[in-house]
Every structure is written in C-alpha cells, then in structure tokens.
Structure 1
C-alpha cells in the first residue's frame, strides 16, 4: 500500500515557494470556485500550497473546509501527480459548493493538470509559458 500521509515535504511552506509559482506558472487549471497554478519542478514529487482569502471566502469554517478538502484530495492522489509545485486559490463562490461537487471539481482539475504537464516539453526548462485548460 502506498504512503498516504501528507508530510511537510509535500507542502509549499514559505513565501518564496509561493512567489516562485506565482511569478512563472507553467500551467493554469480552472474549476468552479477555485483555480490551480502550477510550475514544473525537479524535486521528483508534487508540493501544494493553498491561498484562501477572507475577501473570497468570508467565514472561517468555509475557509477551513476548502483547505481540508483540497489537502485530502492531494493526499489521496499524491502518487498520480507529476513533479510540480501547485498553488490552489479559492475564488468567490467557493463556499457555495457542496463537498461532493467540490471533490469532483478537484479530481477533474487534477486530471487536466496531469494531462497538461505531460504536454509541456520535458527537455526544455520551465519558462513561464501558461496553458489554460
């Protein structure tokens, strides 16, 4: 059985990690109430960071639910991700989505992210080319 934890090595932990993705995102994937920016990396495993602002998701309980569902989705699918740094951003209306729909949205986003990451040439270094899904 593969490791199903969510250790520190799978998280974007500091502002430098986040700005690295924001400055030159190689991939951009949209879902209802959320968006994921990703930048190819050479670490050999994915890392994930979350941005959930009070402006877009008012209540703390809704912000925490958003983060919990994204972390759980990544934890369960971590072996299927390419080597990328991902930042998931909450957009307005994220709190209106029920858990089942939210999970389906995330799974669809992860599949598009995998497909788009394979389409980016592996031989060329990440160069900030943005691809919309």
Structure 2
C-alpha cells in the first residue's frame, strides 16, 4: 500500500469516515473560547488567524470561528471547517496541552486546499514551538 501525504488526503478525501474529531479535542463551551481570546498568543498569515493558549489537560482542543461576514457562503465555510479539522487531526500529536481557536480570513475562501493545508501545517509548527514547556 502506498502511503499518502496528509495534504493528498485533504484534497482527495475531505472527510474520511470514522476519523472525525472526538469531542474531547473540541472547545465546546463559550467560557473555553473566552479564555483563549483573553490569554491568546497569535499566529497569522493571509488565510488564517490562530489564537492559542496553554491548557492543563495534556491534550489539544480546537475551536472554529468562521464568520459569515468573512466567508459568506455556507458551502465555503463548511469546506474550510473540514480542512481545518482534518489538518488538526493529523497534527494533534505534536500539539499537547493547548487550546486553539482558528478564524478564517478573506483570502481563505478562494484558496486551493493544498495552500490551506500548507498554511495550517506552518501554524501547527509555530504553536508546537511556542507551547513547549
């Protein structure tokens, strides 16, 4: 069997059955989002703004803030969310003990999946580098 790079999985299989993001790896309450917004470090490029802060849980959690104001069409918002969740799922082993909120920027809507995935990989490396304790 040929190993595929995660970006190929994103492009060819936007959602792979049975490999969703577990509830434990999601920010599920407004208080969690508020904590990240108040204590955040930032990583930003033309596609995404990433806010992140340390948590004491020992595992990463992801929250998405994809605004209708930025990404008007539901299809595009859902596509971005699938790409972000899939990328996070592949990178979560290097992101221990961090809460992350991702906000999409205007340039992310017309971007191709490969560029979005590469952008997220750079963000994950930056978060992992600054979150080492």
Range into which the TM-score falls when normalised by the shorter chain: 0.7 to 0.9
- Over the aligned positions, Cα root-mean-square deviation in angstroms equals 1.2
What stretches of structure 1 of length at least 5 have no aligned partner?
Answer: 123-133
1:44 is matched with 58
TM-score, structure 2 as length reference = 0.82
Bigger share in helix: 2
2:48 aligned to 34, 52, 67, which one?
34
Superposed, 1:54-93 pairs within 5 Å as: 54-93=68-107
1:9 is matched with 24
* Alignment deviations for residues 67-117 of structure 1 (CA, whole Å, 9 cap, x no partner): 000000011111111210000011122101100000000001101111111
Distance 2:44 2:123 in 1: 7
Distance 2:25 2:92 in 1: 9
Secondary structure of the residue that 2:131 maps to in structure 1?
helix
| Aligned length in residues | 115
Distance 2:46 2:23 in 1: 28
What stretches of structure 2 of length at least 5 have no aligned partner?
Answer: 1-18
2:130 is matched with 116
TM-score, structure 1 as length reference = 0.82
Per the TM alignment, residue 5 of structure 1 is displaced from its structure 2 partner at its CA by 4.9
Distance 1:13 1:63 in 2: 19
